[in-house]
Amino acid sequence: MKTVAHTTRELASLVDIELPKPAPAGRDLLVRVEAVSVNPVDTKRRMDPAKTDTQPRVLGWDAAGTVAAVGDKVSLFSEGDHVYYAGDVTRPGCNSEYHLVDERIVGRKPKSLDFAQAAAIPLTAITAWEAFFDRLKVQANKTMLIIGGAGGVGSIGIQLAKIAGLRVIATASRPESIAWARAMGADEVVGRDFKSQIKMPVDYIANFSEVDEHWAAIGELIAPQGAIVLIVGNKNPLNVDAVRAKSASVCFELMFTRSRFQTPDMIEQHRLLDQVADWLDSGKLKGTLRETLSPINAANLRAAHARLESGTTVGKLVLKGW
């Protein structure tokens, strides 16, 4: 089967190769991949210094496709079903024609979206959903600041926060990203120096960007007894005095936790993806796809990784077709 893999940290090491088609067992689905999305996890895994072996590694954790075969314990899906999912970072990624994934972290593809549009959704929707509903346990009629409002997670996060009944302030700095955040439903959009633009404490802060550069502002803006969720680790020690003084909660969200540790509630990702699909089909949510490259090959993945590393992407970037 056609596959894109890498052996070193360099962008040029993403190459087209052939690998044997895997066979499903247990609760695994074998999915024929029709479209994939790129996310920062792809570039971070490619550049991981812990990868020192010379065996090709397949990246990619956002896909939409068709179930080609099922394992002997599968109960949620059948051959021919159209699905979308983000996968498991401890297993090979989805940048291949066929991919194995546990059915418990897979949802039905939204009927109203094509494969490319659907592939833009899973990782970001799971991240934002778990951040808001599982970690922060948000309550309606409060205010949330979303740092990184025009990115992939921010794009769907603004919409989920509005569904939850929150007033949303989003950060964006360029004209196109400001317009995008507003189109996603943000009540207010503030610039890079957002600390001086927000005149009130906020109940929730979802930082979908780097931690270190925003931590001081987060400590100043969070309301007493508020709650903060982070999806990226800090690079340097953080001064927690301001947050501690306000008895604010701080939690982390990593959407791979359930699959990595095989938690008893793994199936919650299947359920939330089905709910997101229902909301997309009803128009309650809108898609976040901004740009599509075709076909799925090493040259286009190299271009997509370069775009992510530039920090200028708005919404989601997807590759489709082989």
Q: Is the alpha carbon torsion for 179, 184, 188, 191 positive or negative? A: negative
How far, in Å, CA of 257 to CA of 136, rounded? Answer: 16
In this model, does residue 192 exceed pLDDT 90? no
In this model, does residue 9 exceed pLDDT 90? no
What would the mean pLDDT of 127-139 be, rounded to a whole number? 98
Token readout for 47 is 């550049």
Per the CB < 8 A criterion, the answer to whether 107 and 276 are in contact is yes
Q: Residue 188 pairs with which residues in a beta bridge?
A: 169
pLDDT tens column, 65-82: 999 999 999 999 999 999
Question: SS3 for 77?
Answer: coil
What would the mean pLDDT of 190-199 be, rounded to a whole number? 91
Confidence band of 170 (pLDDT split at 50, 70, 90) = very high
What would the mean pLDDT of 34-53 be, rounded to a whole number? 86
What would the mean pLDDT of 106-125 be, rounded to a whole number? 98
What would the mean pLDDT of 199-216 be, rounded to a whole number? 95
Interior CA angle at 168 toward 167 and 170, to 5°?
Answer: 160
In this model, does residue 212 exceed pLDDT 70? yes
Of 49-53, 165-169, 174-178, the range with the lowest mean pLDDT is: 49-53
Per the CB < 8 A criterion, the answer to whether 59 and 45 are in contact is yes
For the chain, what is the mean pLDDT? 96
pLDDT tens column, 232-262: 999 999 999 999 999 999 999 999 999 999 9
What would the mean pLDDT of 92-116 be, rounded to a whole number? 98
In this model, does residue 230 exceed pLDDT 70? yes
Residue 314 vs residue 274, higher pLDDT: 274
Q: What percent of the chain has pLDDT over 90?
A: 90
Instruction: Return the DSSP state at 293.
Output: E
Burial class (CB in 10 A: 0-12, 13-18, 19+), 90: exposed
Among all chains, which residue has been given the structure tokens 């939850």?
Answer: 164
Q: How far is CA 263 from CA 103, 120, 268, in A?
A: 14, 25, 10
In this model, does residue 311 exceed pLDDT 70? yes
The pLDDT of residue 55: 85
Q: Is the alpha carbon torsion for 74, 77, 79, 83 positive or negative? A: negative
Instruction: Return the DSSP state at 225.
Output: E
Confidence band of 135 (pLDDT split at 50, 70, 90) = very high
The pLDDT of residue 52: 62
How far, in Å, CA of 254 to CA of 10, rounded? Answer: 25
Confidence band of 90 (pLDDT split at 50, 70, 90) = very high
Instruction: Return the DSSP state at 298.
Output: H
Token readout for 22 is 């895997």
Of 114-123, 164-173, 277-286, 307-316, the range with the lowest mean pLDDT is: 307-316
Give me the domains of the chain, ranges plus CATH numbers: 2-121+257-320 (3.90.180.10), 124-252 (3.40.50.720)
pLDDT tens column, 28-39: 999 999 999 999
Closest by Cα among 90, 85, 91, 88 to 67: 85
The pLDDT of residue 188: 97
User: What pTM value is reported for the model?
Assistant: 0.96
